[in-house]
Structure 1
């Protein structure tokens, strides 16, 4: 049994790195089923958490920095899915 998607990503959420940036570092495309986008965002957040812990335990700031970007991507994806569900 397949279920219909609960909505689709809006494609309006963008992530900008730094202040006064006019070009987004990444953005979410419209039309991704929101349930899939939310599942992927959750998985990315888990990876970001693992990178953060590994980076702190191994005193490796590169892993913490990578976790920051992965977490930002996950948040951007989740925000866009939420915007799509609100339509």
Structure 2
């Protein structure tokens, strides 16, 4: 019927995950090429090379949101976290 209440101060809210807690991207930047006004980026993941551009999915786990040198923005599909990769 009624919730129990304590007399102490309310608990502090739990902080949201910060960028420092995000895992590093599994890709290494290898190079880029501009084709027809769009950038293609070459990423290495272990022994695989991925050639991607905006709106592509990489390794089934990331979506390329944008490629605007010197930065590429990716979204982790499972967690919807957004991370950037320097592509100079």
Which structure shows the bigger proportion of residues in strand conformation?
2
Which structure shows the bigger proportion of residues in helix conformation?
1
Q: Give TM-score scaled by structure 1 length.
A: 0.25
